[in-house]
Structure 1
Amino acid sequence: MENKISIEIPKGDLDAVKAALDQVQQLLAPFVVALTPDQRRSIPKMSDGTEPFVGKVVEYAKDSAQFLPPYVNREEFEKDWLAVTGLLPLLRICDQIRDTLSDTTMLAGSEAYVSALSYYNSVKQAAKVNVPDAKAIYEDLRKRFERRSRNGSTDDQL
């Protein structure tokens, strides 16, 4: 088994990162919203390709306001655009952080799970040959792999 990750993050560093993230969350709280899944599905979305288009339209709406429909509030349009251009760089940084945190956690978790399975299989074999103390450990750990069959009995799934 190849060990692809071996890190020890000092508790003080984790605490400092958590405090910084808490501060970011508090600073943004008055300005951010949470959409429901239905709202997320139903609204038109601006993508990377749409972003330059919207930026051009904002400029055109300033310089050639006669083409702006009366139902579009130019000040609110510009305010929305400024929010997008201010938040997108933050979102991109957060996406990068989230991706690397997710990948690191996934890899460390995978390695820990493989090690746990190796231990479990070892204790399972030891219990089969009546090695002292193995049966109690095995009985405790095997609960993770039990599944109820249709007749109500449990099966060891490993």
Structure 2
Amino acid sequence: MPDFKRISAELSDQDITELRALVVAARSKLPFLRNLTTQERKELAKLGDKTVGFDEKVQAYMVTNPEFVPGFIDTAEVHKDRLLRTRFMGFLSEFMTLAEHMDDTMTILGSEILMADLAYYQSVREAAKRGVPGAQQIYDDLRTRFPGGGGRTAASATA
């Protein structure tokens, strides 16, 4: 039997108001956040674990050999970006973990709800097969969720 109480909690209106205020406060501290399109995500160069060492070497060379820095590169801006990235990485994992936990919680809640819905649906289907008054109408309404069921009503299935 499924566990319908993996999560048993409530959020008050006040809790939701306070959580939204926290999100607004976080966003106000991060006004530089941007949203990329799928295409932009594919096209942008990525500074990942394998290229951090390369960046560290380039950073050192930019300082010791500035004559090779192209004129269109603002080294102060690159330094600013590096510093922001370092600080951002300091708390990004905490936000990502929170988002993952929230997503997992939504999955569990959805599963618990759907399992209860399916148990109710099976009960109504069985009641309709047995001719329990009122069950057939509910079954006919709910079974539209499962169009591959052959289109037979409970009454015609037992006939």
TM tier, smaller: 0.7 to 0.9
More helix by share: 2
Contact kept, 8 Å, 1:5 with 1:107, in 2: the verdict is yes
Structure 1 residue 56 displacement after superposition: 4.5
TM-score (norm 2): 0.78
CA distance in 1, matches of 2:109, 2:94: 22
Instruction: Tell me what 1:119 maps to.
Output: 120
1:6–1:36 distance in 2 versus 1, CA, 3 Å? closer
**Count of equivalent residues:** 150
CA distance in 1, matches of 2:24, 2:132: 49
CA distance in 1, matches of 2:74, 2:28: 30
Q: CA RMSD in A?
A: 2.5
1:116–1:47 distance in 2 versus 1, CA, 3 Å? same
Provide the secondary structure at the position in 1 that maps to 2:151: strand
Instruction: Tell me what 1:151 maps to.
Output: none
Name stretches of at least 5 consecutive residues in structure 2 with no aligned partner: 153-159
Q: Is the aligned partner of 1:65 residue 2:66?
A: yes
Q: Is the aligned partner of 1:89 residue 2:90?
A: yes
Amino acid at match of 2:124: V
Name stretches of at least 5 consecutive residues in structure 1 with no aligned partner: 148-153
Q: Percent identity?
A: 32
Q: Is the aligned partner of 1:155 residue 2:156?
A: no
Amino acid at match of 2:17: D
Give deviations 1:71-110, integer Å, cap 9, x for gaps: 4321121122122112223322221111111111112211
Q: Structure 1 stretches (4+) deviating beyond 3 angstroms? A: none
Structure 1 residue 52 displacement after superposition: 4.5
CA distance in 2, matches of 1:9, 1:116: 20
